[in-house]
């Protein structure tokens, strides 16, 4: 499959296609995120909260008022401890397959919370449910736990919490639900959404193995690669851009904005300085909204 945009030379897109709100583990409300996006000069945004659609309605209303084009999205955590993330664009509520998957993920998060708290207590770092300060309508997540640990003085920062305690294989880690990436791709394709591999540079696999897996995921229906991400070096951005174009896939990019830029997350619009073909690539993605992808 090859995606050729219906390019309008009079329209310049300034896209950020990977951002989070308080509906998952971001620090801003959907409306605040839209206002931040407008202030940064971005005119095409995707809200891609982790494993939830709860922020999309408010974001859509705010984006219309601000004159910003919004793509409703999600970021699904797949492959269990391998933590391979899948972005889904043009998602919508009311799809049985996606709703069932998200319900299973919510159940898993609810079961993992007391296990995390119990283990930290056993390690001499008591944290209560109230300490987590989980916003209404939001699920437990490790970033929220990491913020609580920082406030309580157990660690210096969120990154410190993950590096010492909460990361995969660390002393306080609790295994997550295993969702095969092929299952998530299939669910998104059946609902005519667009599945894109998120930040491949963060996947903990040798490049030759990852490229082999990538070909299999493309056969399963993967439609794009997020080549431009704050954790990718300039060289890595070009590598994954070429990997996508050589396979006829969409190329996307985004800041992975959560609220406070750090080594893993950028400011809104962060990747636009490197993403030279942002307008054309964004238009190719938008064209998918009117295509039958299933």
pTM above 0.85, yes or no: yes
Q: Are 177 and 104 in contact (CB under 8 A)?
A: yes
pLDDT digits (tens, 9 = 90+) for 82-132: 889 999 999 999 999 999 999 999 999 999 999 999 999 999 999 999 999
Using CA atoms, how far residue 205 sits from 77, 146, 209, in Å, is 16, 25, 7
Q: Are 103 and 75 in contact (CB under 8 A)?
A: no
Q: Given this model, what pLDDT does residue 186 score?
A: 98
Q: Given this model, what pLDDT does residue 10 score?
A: 61
Q: Given this model, what pLDDT does residue 290 score?
A: 63
What token pair was written down for 157? 């920062």
Q: Given this model, what pLDDT does residue 202 score?
A: 94
- Per DSSP (E only), the strands in 179-223 are 194-197
pLDDT digits (tens, 9 = 90+) for 138-149: 889 998 999 999
Q: Given this model, what pLDDT does residue 292 score?
A: 41
Q: Which top CATH class is 102-166?
A: mainly alpha
Give the fold, CATH level 3, of 15-93+178-290.
TIM Barrel (3.20.20)
- b or e along 114-133 (b: 16 or more beta carbons within 10 Å of the residue's beta carbon)? eebbeebeeeebebeeebbe
| Neighbour order of strands in the sheet with 250-253 | 15-19, 44-47, 69-78, 84-89, 194-197, 224-228, 250-253
Q: Given this model, what pLDDT does residue 139 score?
A: 86
DSSP codes joined into one string, 89-109: ES--TT-HHHHHHHHHHHHHH
Q: Given this model, what pLDDT does residue 264 score?
A: 84
User: In the chain, which stretches have pLDDT less than 70?
Assistant: 1-10, 290-294
Q: Given this model, what pLDDT does residue 39 score?
A: 97
Q: Are 231 and 253 in contact (CB under 8 A)?
A: no
Q: Given this model, what pLDDT does residue 293 score?
A: 39
Q: Given this model, what pLDDT does residue 263 score?
A: 81
Q: What share of the chain is helix, strand, coil (3-state, %, to 5)?
A: 45, 15, 40
Q: Given this model, what pLDDT does residue 7 score?
A: 47
Give, for 246, the enclosing helix (H) or strand (E): helix 234-246
Domain residue limits, the chain: 15-93+178-290, 102-166
């Amino acid at each position: 499959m090859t995606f050729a945009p219906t390019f309008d030379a009079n329209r310049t897109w300034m896209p950020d296609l990977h951002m989070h709100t308080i509906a998952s583990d971001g620090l801003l409300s959907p409306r605040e995120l839209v206002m931040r996006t407008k202030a940064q000069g971005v005119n095409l945004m995707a809200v891609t909260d982790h494993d939830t659609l709860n922020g999309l309605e408010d974001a859509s209303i705010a984006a219309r008022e601000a004159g910003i084009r919004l793509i409703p999205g999600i970021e699904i955590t797949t492959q269990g401890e391998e933590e391979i993330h899948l972005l889904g664009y043009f998602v919508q509520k009311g799809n049985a397959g996606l709703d069932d998957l998200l319900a299973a993920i919510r159940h898993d998060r609810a079961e993992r919370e007391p296990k995390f708290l119990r283990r930290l207590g056993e390690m001499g770092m008591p944290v209560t449910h109230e300490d987590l300060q989980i916003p209404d309508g939001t699920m437990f997540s490790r970033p929220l736990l990491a913020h609580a640990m920082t406030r309580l003085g157990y660690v210096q920062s969120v990154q410190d919490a993950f590096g010492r305690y909460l990361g995969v294989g660390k002393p306080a880690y609790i295994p997550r639900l295993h969702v095969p990436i092929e299952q998530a791709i299939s669910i998104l394709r059946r609902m005519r959404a667009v599945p894109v591999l998120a930040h491949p540079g963060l996947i903990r696999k040798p490049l030759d193995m990852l490229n082999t897996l990538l070909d299999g995921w493309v056969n399963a229906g993967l439609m794009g690669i997020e080549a431009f991400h704050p954790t990718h070096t300039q060289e890595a951005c070009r590598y994954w851009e070429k990997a996508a174009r050589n396979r006829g896939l969409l190329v996307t990019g985004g800041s992975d904005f959560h609220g406070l830029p750090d080594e893993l997350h950028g400011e809104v619009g962060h990747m636009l300085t490197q993403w030279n073909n942002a307008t054309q690539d964004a238009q190719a993605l938008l064209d998918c909204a009117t295509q039958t992808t299933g």
